[in-house]
Amino acid sequence: MRHIISILVENKFGTLARIAGMFSGRGFNIETLNVGPMTDESLSRITATIVGDSDALDQAIKQVDKLINVLEVTEFTSGQATERELVMLKVGSSAGQRSEIMQVCDIFRANIIDVSEETLNIEMTGNANKVTAFLKLIEPYGIIEMARTGNLALKRG
């Protein structure tokens, strides 16, 4: 089963390694992992998408919560959080294909952020299903390079 975990930590050396080690040591696959500083740069938020058994995950979360530098751990259940991903692509495009690619980008509210004679760089944000649907429509044009963040999540309300 897929679980989204948000962990508020002190921005200290080794914190991420200890947390990732805790999950991997217990047999969980970390599907996506994002880390970024908060407005108070002494703190960071780690958002991890973990695949594994729910009962075992509860135990692992309790152990992560006890680690040094961990301030708060939240597991989001379905519908409890807003989720977004960012994907950046370099797509091959001839002059004749550009208008078609731009139409696909408009439908998905994606932005073209760089243009060259033979390629377009595109950014798009959305939930995982929207990103996957966008990639399926863009793939025939030739994805040359791709970077994808994985989930970021915040609790609703």
pLDDT tens, residue by residue, 128-155? 899 999 999 999 999 999 999 988 998 8
pLDDT band with cut points at 50, 70 and 90 for residue 18: very high
The whole-angstrom distance between residue 10's C-alpha and the CA centroid of its chain comes to 21
Residue 133: per-residue pLDDT? 97
* 33-47, 48-62, 130-144, range with the lowest pLDDT: 48-62
Report whether pLDDT(78) > 80: no
Residues of the chain with CATH 3.30.70.1150: 82-155
pTM of the model: 0.82
Residues of the chain with CATH 3.30.70.260: 2-78
Report whether pLDDT(107) > 90: yes
CB-based burial, 27-66: b 16+ in 10 Å, e otherwise: ebebebbbbeeeeeeeebbbbbbbebeeeebeebbeebee
Residue 76: per-residue pLDDT? 87
SS3 (DSSP) at 77: coil
List the structure tokens of 102.
Answer: 């731009």
Task: Please name the CATH architecture into which domain 82-155 falls.
Answer: 2-Layer Sandwich (3.30)
Asked if 118 and 92 touch (Cβ cutoff 8 Å), the reply is: yes
Averaged pLDDT score across all residues of the chain: 91
Name 4's Cβ contacts closer than 8 Å, sequence gap at least 6.
47, 48, 49, 50, 75, 76, 81, 83, 151, 153
- The Cα 6–Cα 75 span in angstroms is 6
DSSP per position, 103-143: HHHHHTT-EEEEE-SSEEEEEEEE-HHHHHHHHHHHGGG-E
Q: Which CATH superfamily does the domain covering 2-78 fall into?
A: ACT domain (3.30.70.260)
